[in-house]
Structure 1
Amino acid sequence: MYKAFIYLLSILFLVIAGPMARAQNNAKTDSAKKTPTSKRERERRSMRSRDEMMRALNQSDTSINGLLQRIEQYTITFNQINNNLSDGLDTADISGQIPSVTRRLNRMDSLAKTHKSSTLRYLFVLRDNLDRTQTKLEGWQSDLEDINARLVQNQKDLIRFFKDTSLRNVPNDSLLRHTYFKQVKSIRSLWRRTDSVNRKSLLQVNLLQDKIAVAYNRILDQTDQIDAKIRRFAMKAIDGESDYIWNTGLQTADFKEAFNSTVKLNRILFSYFNKNEQLTNMAGILFFALVLGWVIFSRQKTIRNSENPKLVFERAYFIQNQPVIASLLVATAIVPYFYNQPPVVCLESIFLVAIIISLFLVWKRHPQTFGFLSPLFWITLVYGFSNLFIQISNIDRYVILLLSMVCIGLGLSFLKKLKSLPDGHLPYTGLVLRIFVGMHILSFLLNVSGRFSLAKIVGVTAVFNLWQLVIFYLVIQIVLQCLYLSFQTRKDSNSIINWMDFDLVQKKFTSVLATIAGLLWLFTLCQNLNIDDWASDNISDLLNQSRTVNGASFTFGGFVIFIAVIWLSSVTSRIISYFYDVSARRVTDLSVLKKKNRTSALVIRLAVFSAGFLLAVAASGFPLEKLTIIISAFGIGIGFGLQTIVNNLVSGLILAFEKPIQIGDIIEVGGQSGTMKEIGIRSSKLLTSDGSEVIIPNGDLISQHVVNWTLSNSNRRIDLAVAAAYGVDINKVKDLLKATLTNRDDIMTTPAPSVYLNAVSEHSVDFKLFFWADDINNTSELKSRVLADIYTVLGENGVELPSSCQDVNVRFPDGVPGASSSNKETPGSDLATKGTKK
């Protein structure tokens, strides 16, 4: 019974499930038919699934990837440090020279404590050596500081790796864990090697820095000691270092010792100088080569291109006859200033060459002055050798006394010759000789009174600086002669030199060269008087010391820089104005483009001056907030009393940018007419036809009606009135006048000339002529030529001009009054008279 029931239920399930399955299959088929993109959807689902899996994997490996990247970055850094350290530090030269510097300091310390150091020259020699050594140590300190900074940065990178706790993380994946541990082991090994090498290098550099610091402190101590001795020596020299000269006798022993010590020390200094100043020596040779090349180039260019070289070379004597010697003189006069604290023996060696050359050139060009300089040359040799002495000797004192007497006599005798023959000498010879004699009189008195060191300083300064004046004078002449040759040779029309006026350039350049030479001469004077260091220190303290006024701090050096930059900007502005002014005078084409270029000089000047002002403020260190206060106060002043000035300044800017008026325009304003010569910042200059210059404020050029004849072009219409006698053939005269105006090169064809009948009167027939000139500056000359041609043409064709004379017939019915009986005419006769029409 139970089994039968089960069979019945199975049969019922099959009966019911079959149709349902077929219905479901039919539904799927219909769904496939309705959604043909089901495969694409499945692919998209698969792609999304893969992307989610990849993102999950990446998120799971992010930490380990970051660690591996960090390890790789550390590896690159450590390898770079090792490469830099393997090249070696730039300390081998410093390490090798420190022992010699130490020995030199020990030697100078012992020399400074001997009795020889009581002489001024010896003290200056020791201090010069200390200064040069100090400069070298400062350079070493700077180099080692750079090396130490790099090593310290390396050590910071190494310490950062040691403190990086993120590298202690352990990945979960066994395969990644093995790779990670291998990388960490390798980087730690590399870190230990790099850290060891860097620490050793850092220790080595620190030891060198300590040695240099010790040597540097010793130099400062010795310098202070020598400076104190120099001050004591100066006080002693002023008070009198020895007895009167007649209380001392000759002693050959001390002179022999002083001579031997001087030769030995100066030989060592000269050798040391040549060894350590090779680069500067090469720079001096290169400078001489450049000067020689310039001189020879100017000379050859003049010979090749000048139409009359002989006439040109009359003003370039040194370049024509002595080009090599002249170039050598320029080099020997300038090269000594290339060196930093050179020994006196080196300076005097170069100075001796310059003296010999200048003496030769003076002999060729100024024979009168040569008569004084030739004996002075031998005196200079003795003074120069005496100046090298490092010990005081009585023989040296008597020699200086004798040289002072000889120089006094030589100077007075040449002054007497100068009064009798004032021509053929160098400029200011009389003034220089008087100063020269006065200084030697002072040297003589100081020597007699026991102040020998001061006497030698004054005597050496008088002789050396006189020669320095001669040398600088000749150098300026040589440079000016080279410039003259550059201006006189045939030049291209577009060359910038062609725009310049040599007379003006010579005047300005001579003043600049004289100023530079004067400053160098003053520097040499301070060196010869041995006050250059004192002057430098005091001037530096004066300029750099900070001062406070009402809470604002400033220095005099800042003011000097401010004034210097403003001066340079004004000089640059004037140079630009000069070139534009020269181009305005040399170029006669008044095209619109050229006038705009010339007028743009105002904009350039304003830009240069504004940039110079901002640079001056920045360079001087002036606080900008204070500058804002000053500008605000200046604005209040403008509001009260400077309206006119500001109006003119703003009008100048409008003229510069809007350009209604250009340089070279012919204008009429305020009853004045002429050519615009200059447009300045506040006012402009108008050159009238009579040669006068009218200063017009820029505000008037903006506010008033201005007639500009050449705004767009320089064309000008000319009107002429021509009258012919009454009764002429009008058409014939018109044709003659029209023919006179056509087919001329000086009259424009477009617009074409025209002739009109203007008026007809009882005495004349008036014609009006209109034609155009292409240049307004030639209107008067063109009008004159046209009138002359018209007069000639009308005369040749029989056209009469109206006359101011006419015939007057007077009828007297009773005869001419007052006539004699013999001449009495019949009544009613006519008297024909000719009178002038009033």
Structure 2
Amino acid sequence: MKTISIKSHSFKFLVALWAIVFAGTAQQAYAQDKQAKPPISKRESARRSMHSRDSLLRALNKTDTSINSLLQRVEQYTTTFNQINNNLSEGLDTADISQQLPSVVRRLNRMDSLAKTHKSSTLRYLFVLRDNLDRTQGKLEDWQSQLGDIDSGLVHNQKDLIRFFKDTTLRAAPTDSTLRRTYFNQLQSVRHLWRKTDSLNRTALLKVNLLQNEIAVAYNRILDQTDQIDLKIKRFAIKAISGESDYIWNTGLAYNDFKAALSSTIKLNRILLNYFNRNEKLTNLVGVVFLILVFIWVFYNRIKTFKNNDNPVAIFERAGYIYKDPIISSLLIGTAIIPYFYTHPPVVCLEAMFLISIIVSLLLTRKEHPKTYYFLFQLFWITIVYGASNLFIQISNIDRYTVLILSIVSIIIGYLFLKKCQKDPEGHLPNTCLVLKVFIGLQLLSLLLNISGRFSLAKIIGVTAVFNLWLLVIFYLVVQIILQGLYLQFQTKKDANSIINWIDFTLVEKKFKSILVTVAALLWGFTLLQNLNVDDWANDNVHDLLSESRTVGGASFTFRGFLIFIAVIWLSSVISRIISYFYDVSAQRVTDLSVLKKKNRTSALLIRLGVFSAGFLLAVAASGFPLEKLTIIISAFGIGIGFGLQNIVNNLVSGLILAFEKPIQIGDIIEVGNRSGTMKEIGVRSSKLLTSDGSEVIIPNGDLISQHVVNWTLSNSNRRIELMIATAYGADINHTKDLLKNMLSNREDIMTSPAPSVFLSGVSETSVDFKIFFWAADITTTNALKSTVLADIYDMLPRENVAIPSARKDLYLHFPEGMPVVGGDEKGEAK
């Protein structure tokens, strides 16, 4: 043991000695080599340092220091999986869909069975089924969109999970045991989290996909049932036109059929009404809020008119409906407009609100149009029966005879009232005779169709004639009430800076009335299509017409895009005109020229050009027209400029120059050519000059740039006035100059800087002429100031003993001595 120990110590000693010798030799060799090698440059040293660092980084990447990037990647996956777990733990927003889908499927089964019964042979029943299918289809489309968004999120989650599973960089293991143990622990934890997250996400994705499949099946069933009902409607139309029954005298009454039809109608409308109230709560709330706002607006204007006007009765002469019946006037506006808030309301709801509108219209016409009231009162009871008949979903002979009687009675009362209107046209609603002729014609057509066995068409035309006549009366009253409310709004006293005071009600009434009439006409036409039961057909055909792509000259377009383009351009022009109107009003309300110039319309011109440019670009973008095609249009426009649009483009560019440089502003007094006056408007192509005689001269903008223009008010509104004053020959020049200068210096309406000046202009055998210069602060007062100064000078000169030359001349005649004077006196002087 000792021998081994000694040998071991000896071996260690030899090794240490050898290391010392080797280190010394190496150090000496290194020193000799260092002395032998020349010094390296700084650039070479930096290059070697860079290579050294790169080698070190490459070495470190192969060692345990790469664990940092691995741990960061694991941490990122952990954060992603935790976020997915949190989102999935909150639950999918599919509970309502899962709960409502079974009831939708049951409803589809019921409608499928109803569509196959004999009841579906009536047009009303078919349209009831079609409306229900449309509403259900819309709900399923919303569900599909909602589930599609959820499915997209789950698919994105699954992609993140798959990316973790396929990430090969996580398979690298650190060489250090401690680091390797830490890394594998965290990797094991994230893998456990991955398995849990993957299971939850796959379960949710499967649930959503199953729900999507169920909705897709229901949606396809709706499409099939819709096609089936559309085919039945088409067959019914053919049958209704060709004749669905025999002549009316070959049919008898059948009370059992009427009872069954009545029972089915009540049952179905109750179901539809309950479904409507359950699913249209938000729309109902919007309708109630709208009605409340209408009441507030009407009563606010009414109360303000009473409070803020000395003679409110005189104002209410133009607002009789709001003055006498504010409650029913407000109710009429609400009940006439609220039905259009709904997409597919049941007929029973429409007729309920329509009945309220009719009753309110009767009350208003009773006071304002008593001659028309009697006819409308008779038509009211006919409308009640027509409305009840319109709800029937089955054909019965009693219903057919009822419609026949209604047609006859409508023709009689319409004809009698038409004769009265022709004899005494005053006091009736506008176009009453024309409307009555159309009404009688439609009722006569309904009568003939009913007699010939085309009962469904007869009912449709009869109901349309009555309902749309009432709708004309309702919309006429609604337009009048709204205009009366606006009139009261403008008559209410406002603050001086209120925008209401800046608007001309006559112009607003004219423009707004045309808009209201247009909207009312569109709504009336829409209701007409609904009453004729062709609204869906018209909607489908119009949609196809507008959406179909057409190609002209290699460019594709649709009529929808074309209409959008026109609408946006029209809206831009309306906004431009509104801006121009308010600038006009603001200019007319300001009397001080300096303030007027601050509100000049040159800035309005730039705004109008900006609105037009933005509107054009929006119109092109909204219409779907390819922007690259604009180059073709611009090229064609350039060719047009070269051939015949030079003057127009010149005026347009001149308008831009006037807008930016502002050599002329609204309110400036200018002279151009042989015209002078006040600048009234600077337009895009031309401008308007208001002359002193009241005429408006339209001047192309190019003339304002190319011709010599005298602007009297460019920098200020001062104007120099020059007068010529003549005194009698022999007047004291200095005294007269002092008198004139003192008189001009002591006036408040003459500027002191520059000071007035008086100069001797000329001396003749009959007069001494003076020239007077003074300045008026406001050019608009030039003529008045000149007149006042002349009058004062005329009064002052005689008072100061300064004679004014007279046109009278003395004539002296000398005759030779000895010649008799004819007509002379005894002394020989001529008389």
TM-score w.r.t. the length of structure 1 is: 0.90
Superimposed CA distance per residue, residues 90-126 of structure 1 (whole angstroms, 9 cap, x where no aligned partner): 1111111111111111110111011110000000000
Distance 1:369 1:748, change over 3 A: farther
Q: Name the structure 2 match of 1:524.
A: 527
Gaps in structure 1 of 5+ consecutive residues: 1-48, 832-838
Deviates more, 1:767-776 or 1:110-119: 767-776
Alignment of 1:31-46 (within 5 A): none
Equivalent runs, 1:593-608 vs 2, <5 Å: 594=597, 597-608=600-611
Deviation of residue 57 (structure 1)?
A: 7.2
> Matched residues in 2 for 1:633 and 1:561: separation?
23
Amino acid at match of 2:497: N
Residues 578-603 of structure 1, C-alpha deviations (whole Å, 9 max, x = no match): 22222233323322773563221211
Distance 2:775 2:101 in 1: 89
Question: Partner of 2:340 in structure 1?
Answer: 337
Q: 2:447 aligns with which of 444, 448, 453?
A: 444
Residue 768 of structure 1 is matched in structure 2 by 771
1:490 is paired with a residue whose SS is coil
Aligned to 2:28: none
Tell me, yes or no, if the aligned pair for 1:284 and 1:335 is still in contact at 8 Å: yes
The DSSP-based 3-state class of the residue aligned with 2:318 is coil
Partner residue in 1 for 2:328: 325
Provide the residue aligned with 1:825 in structure 2: 826
Q: CA deviation at 1:53?
A: 10
Q: Which amino acid aligns with 1:199?
A: R
- Report how far residue 216 of structure 1 moved: 0.4
Partner of 2:407: 404
Which residue matches 1:466? 469
Q: How far did 1:202 drift?
A: 0.7
Aligned pair partner of 1:91 in 85, 89, 94: 94
Asked if 2 retains the 8 angstrom alpha-carbon contact of 1:258 and 1:392, the reply is yes
Deviation at 1:796, TM superposition (A): 4.2
Give me the whole-angstrom Cα distance separating, in 2, the residues matched to 1:815 and 1:59.
Answer: 154
Separation of aligned partners in 2, 1:86 and 1:505: 59
- Where does residue 644 of structure 1 map in the other structure? 647
The alpha-carbon distance between structure 1 residues 58 and 546, as it changes in their structure 2 partners (threshold 3 A), is: closer
Tell me how far 1:774 sits from its aligned partner.
Answer: 2.3
Q: Which amino acid aligns with 1:681?
A: V
Alignment map for 1:2-401 (pairs within 5 Å): 60-401=63-404
Aligned pair 1:709/2:712, yes or no?
yes
* Aligned mates of 2:366, 2:727 — CA distance in 1: 79
- Please report the TM-score for the alignment, with normalisation by the length of structure 2: 0.90
What is the match of residue 14 of structure 2? none
**1:312-333 Cα deviation digits (max 9, x unpaired):** 2221222223223222211111
Q: Confirm whether residue 629 of structure 1 aligns to residue 632 of structure 2.
A: yes
Gap regions ≥5 residues in structure 2: 1-51
Is 2:507 the counterpart of 1:488?
no
Change (3 A) 1:767 1:61: farther
Question: Would you say the 8 A contact 2:64–2:179 is kept in 1?
Answer: no
Contact 2:587 2:596 in 1 (8 A): no
Distance 1:789 1:368, change over 3 A: farther
Q: What letter is aligned with 1:359?
A: L
Letter in 2 for 1:325: I
Asked whether the 8 Å contact 1:809–1:830 carries over to 2, the reply is no
User: Offset of 1:743 from its aligned partner?
Assistant: 4.1
Identity of aligned residues (%): 73
Residue type matched to 2:498 in 1?
Answer: S
Q: Per the alignment, in what secondary structure is the counterpart of residue 665 of structure 2?
A: coil
* CA distance in structure 1 between the aligned counterparts of 2:129 and 2:601, rounded to whole angstroms: 60
Output the CA distance in 1 between the equivalents of 2:595 and 2:328. 51
Partner SS state of residue 198, structure 2: helix
SS of residue paired to 2:679: strand
Q: In structure 2, the residue corresponding to 1:299 is in which secondary structure?
A: helix
**Cα deviation per residue 1:551-581 (whole Å; 9 max; x = unaligned)?**
3222121211111111111122222222222
1:259, distance to aligned residue in structure 2 (A): 0.9
1:241–1:452 Cα contact (<8 Å) kept: yes
Q: Separation in 2 of the partners of 1:703 and 1:53?
A: 79
Aligned pairs for 1:507-518 within 5 A:
507-518=510-521
1-structure distance, mates of 2:281, 2:155: 35
1:677-716 equivalence runs, <5 A: 677-716=680-719
Does the CA contact (< 8 Å) of 1:755 and 1:767 recur in 2?
yes
Q: Is the 8 A contact 1:733 1:799 kept in 2?
A: yes
The one-letter amino acid paired with 1:809 is: Y
Contact 1:141 1:209 in 2 (8 A): yes
Deviation at 1:798, TM superposition (A): 4.5
Native 8 Å contact 1:596 1:662 kept in 2: no
Distance 1:366-1:789 versus aligned 2 partners, 3 A rule: farther
Residues 491/798 of structure 1: CA separation in 2 closer, same or farther (3 Å cut): farther
Distance 2:820 2:484 in 1: 90
Amino acid paired to 1:748: M
1:440–1:458 CA contact under 8 A, matched in 2: yes
1:755 counterpart = 2:758: yes
Q: Is the 8 A contact 1:595 1:664 kept in 2?
A: no
Q: Distance in 2 between matches of 1:584 and 1:265?
A: 64
**Whole-Å Cα distance in 2 between the matches of residues 550 and 724 of structure 1?**
84
CA distance in 2, matches of 1:255, 1:567: 54
Query: Structure 1: which 4+ aligned runs deviate by more than 6 Å?
Result: 52-59
The answer to which of 245-254 and 547-556 deviates more is 547-556
Choose 348-357 or 533-542, whichever is displaced more. Answer: 348-357
| 8 Å contact kept, 1:332–1:350 | yes
The DSSP-based 3-state class of the residue aligned with 1:787 is: helix
Residues 81 and 786 (structure 1), Cα distance of their counterparts in 2 relative to 1, 3 Å cut: same
1:718–1:772 Cα contact (<8 Å) kept: yes
CA distance in 2 between counterparts of 1:586 and 1:596 reads 11
Q: How many residues align?
A: 779
Contact 1:596 1:659 in 2 (8 A): no
Deviation, 1:495, is: 2.3
1:435 aligned onto 2:447: no
> Do the aligned partners of 1:288 and 1:331 also contact (CA within 8 Å) in 2?
yes
Residue-by-residue CA offset, 1:342-379 (whole Å, 9 max, x unaligned): 11111111111111112111112222221221111111
Give the superposition deviation at 1:784. 2.0
Q: C-alpha displacement at 1:487, in angstroms?
A: 1.8
| Superimposed CA distance per residue, residues 242-295 of structure 1 (whole angstroms, 9 cap, x where no aligned partner) | 111111112111111111111111111111101100000111111112222222
CA distance in 2 between counterparts of 1:777 and 1:329 reads 54
Query: 1:815–1:381: structure 2 CA closer, same or farther, 3 Å change rule?
Result: farther
Q: Deviations over 1:721-758 (max 9, x none)?
A: 22233334444443443344344443333323333332
CA RMSD of aligned residues (A): 2.2
Q: 2: CA distance between counterparts of 1:740 and 1:469?
A: 75
Instruction: Provide the residue aligned with 1:792 in structure 2.
Output: 795
Please state whether the residue corresponding to 1:183 is helix, strand or coil: helix
Q: Which amino acid aligns with 1:120?
A: L
Deviates more, 1:574-583 or 1:272-281: 574-583
In 2, are the aligned partners of 1:726 and 1:802 still within 8 Å (CA)? yes
Query: Aligned partners of 1:726 and 1:364: how far apart in 2?
Result: 85
Preserved contact between residue 411 and residue 436 of structure 1 (Cα < 8 Å): yes
1:476 aligns with 2:479: yes
Give the distance between the partners of 1:104 and 1:357, measured in 2 at CA: 38
Whichever residue aligns with residue 399 of structure 1, its letter is T
CA distance in structure 2 between the partners assigned to 1:816 and 1:84 by the alignment: 141
Following superposition, the deviation at residue 302 of structure 1 comes to 2.2
